[in-house]
Chain A
Amino acid sequence: MSYILSILPALTSGLAITFEVFVVTLVFSIPLGLIVAIGRISKINIVSRVVQLYILIMRGTPLLLQLVVVFFGLPYVGIVLERNTSALLTFVLNYAAYFAEIFRGGIESIDIGQYEGAAVLGLSKIRTFRRIILPQVIKRVLPPVGNEVITLVKDTSLVYIIGLGELLRAGEIASNRDASLTPLMVVGVYYLIIIGVFTEVFKRLEKRHSYYQ
């Protein structure tokens, strides 16, 4: 037990990076994902095509590879980013693609009658989307979004490839130094607690959005 206490400070400092990546990614990728989703279902062909290509690349290549390309590859075309910035940019772009597809699914699941009804009431297109469609979309996409959020918590461990010391790496360091598996177990508990909290948060969110049911 005293051993576990002795490694906690180092692990907690790893937790800082994990949280940074997690929070920034969520804050930026969800709005971006919504914009991308709207672009994806745009009737302007070229917009939809470009967005589809973006989604294909983001979902179609490993996140680990994308991190490497952004950090080590972009300097070859003159774009030099800091370690943290590279990680955050890659994560936001990657997760926005996943969120976009979830939102698209949500938007397309809304019955055409809702649009027709709004049109009859004389609502503008933007008002229809904001006041009628979006609230229903949010209700429907909560479970898959919760899924992505949980995946994101664990995906943050990938930033080790560009030398950022997040939680799992902090555990690996301690494990290597002390020739023991215990630090990795402690790291596992950390992840479990974080994800447990988010599971509960989403449970409540879903309950709050379960009006009309």
Chain B
Amino acid sequence: MKTFQNKRGLRKTCILLALLLITSVVMSACWGKDKDAEDTYKEVSGGVAENGDGGTGTSSDETDEKEQKIMGPTLDEIKERGYIIMGLDDTFAPMGFRDKQNNLVGFDVDLAKEVFKRAEIELKLQPIDWSMKETELNTGKIDVIWNGYTITPGRKEQVDFTKPYLTNKQIIVTMAGSGVDKREDLAGKKVAIQSESSAIDAVEAYPDVVKTFDGGKPVLFATNDKALMDLEVGRSDAVVGDEVYVRYYIKQKGKEKYKIAKEDFGDEEYGIGFRKTNGDLLKLIDDVLDKMREDGSYDEIYNKWFSDN
């Protein structure tokens, strides 16, 4: 059955190497967008966030390329189709998660249901992997990112945000009795953070503080709850994370076991993300949200989820 092709070994190796190169180029093209996002991320966090366009350091033709790549329906097409697809991370309590009957619930879910009811568009909820959210949006798989989505300069390059609808803080939580009340108190401590979260940006805005951490940098976990579990078993000394989730978590576990420091790593705002080509849709939603703030229905939903915080 075998043919003897060993003499052609060298040629084969060359072909193989070429193939490898081709596949890696193809794949990097597909991943290009995410890498860009990461790069801008780092740039932004290095130079203390704030000014709207943090990461314009990347050349403009790259931005052009990104804009060309956006796919997905327009507002008219969405209306014609009859429904809008909202992407959410169904592991993010209390913003969007599943109850024991497996229904999608949460503050953002309730808010979105009301908003789209008023906008007269049927809402479809699509759970996504959070690390893929911008890709999901800009390939038209979903039409909205709405799930505790922090507005950052890096993300603003890829999506358009509504006006902020909720303020969140990056708080420091330790076990009760740790005596950590200020950022400086974290010196020599193991600090756990969710990877690829805005908490990292927030912490890195204080490079002097990060340097004093045990190991000189935070310990990263896939999710906030894993970071908090690490804190509970004593491998980590502190967690920096989203106030909304951390408070939800410690309420489940018993508030008295934990201590929330007086100082935090700053405020941030949640917005709703749309494709850059969907400006009219964004305006529509912003208007509905404004009305809901005026007539008190926003507060009603807020109080349902955050009343005793």
Interface residues of A (CB under 8 A from B): 6-7, 9-10, 13, 41, 43, 53, 56-57, 60-61, 65, 68-69, 71-73, 75-76, 83, 107-108, 112, 160-163, 165, 169-170, 172-179, 181
**In the complex the two chains form, is B16's CB within 8 Å of A56's CB?**
yes
Interface centre among A72, A108, A181 (most CB of B within 10 A): A72
Once the chains bind, are A10 and B101 in contact (CB under 8 Å)?
A: yes
Q: A163: which of B136, B223, B224 is its contact (CB, 8 Å)?
A: B136
> When the two chains form their complex, are residues B100 and A176 in contact, meaning their CB atoms are under 8 A apart?
no
Do the beta carbons of A7 and B100 come within 8 Å of each other? yes
Residue from A9, A60, A75, A107 in contact with B101 in the complex, judged by beta carbons closer than 8 Å: A9
Sample of 5 further A-B pairs with CB below 8 A, known A75-B71, A75-B139? A10-B102, A68-B30, A72-B30, A73-B30, A75-B140
Q: Which residues of B contact A71 (CB under 8 A)?
A: 141
Question: Do A43 and B100 form a contact, CB below 8 Å, given A72-B135, A172-B223, A179-B225?
Answer: no
Contact residues in B for A161 (Cβ distance below 8 Å): 129, 131-132
- Report whether A163 and B129 are in contact in the complex, using a CB–CB cutoff of 8 Å: yes
Chain B residues packing against A (C-beta within 8 Å): 1-3, 16, 19-20, 23, 27, 30-31, 69, 71, 87, 90-93, 97-102, 126-129, 131-132, 135-136, 139-141, 223-225, 228-229, 249, 252-253
Closest 6 pairs between A and B when the two form their complex, measured CB to CB = A73-B30, A163-B128, A179-B252, A10-B102, A176-B91, A176-B225
A162 to chain B, nearest CB (A): 7
- In the complex, the answer to whether B223 meets A176 with C-beta atoms within 8 Å is yes
Contact status B127-A163, CB under 8 Å: yes
A175 to chain B minimum Cβ distance, whole angstroms, is: 6
Residue from A6, A56, A112, A163 in contact with B100 in the complex, judged by beta carbons closer than 8 Å? A6
| Number of interchain pairs (Cβ within 8 Å) | 92
Name B3's closest neighbour in chain A (CB-CB).
Answer: A43
- Chain B residues with Cβ below 8 Å from A181 are 229
Please judge, given known A-B contacts A10-B100, A163-B127, A173-B90, whether A179 and B16 are in contact too, CB under 8 Å.
no
Point out the residues of chain A lying under 8 angstroms from B132, CB to CB: 68, 72, 161-163
Q: Is the CB of B92 within 8 A of A176?
A: yes
Residues of A contacting B: mostly: helix
How far in angstroms is the closest Cβ of chain B from A188? Answer: 16
Q: Shortest beta-carbon distance, B165 to chain A, in Å? A: 22
Across-interface contacts of A65 in B (CB, < 8 A): 27
- What would 14 A/B residue contacts be, using CB atoms closer than 8 Å? A6-B100, A7-B100, A13-B102, A56-B19, A61-B23, A65-B27, A76-B30, A76-B139, A108-B2, A163-B129, A163-B132, A163-B136, A173-B91, A176-B224
With a cutoff of 8 Å between Cβ atoms, the chain B residues found around residue A7 in the complex are 100
- In angstroms, Cα B132 to Cα A76, docked, is 16
Q: Which residues of A contact B98 (CB under 8 A)?
A: 10, 173-174, 177
Complex CA–CA separation, A16 to B37 (angstroms): 34
Find out whether the CB atom of A69 lies under 8 angstroms from the CB atom of B30. yes
Q: Give chain A nearest CB distance to B181 CB in angstroms.
A: 24
Please indicate the chain B residues that have their CB under 8 angstroms from the CB of A172 in the complex.
Answer: 91, 223
A45 → B minimal CB distance (Å): 8
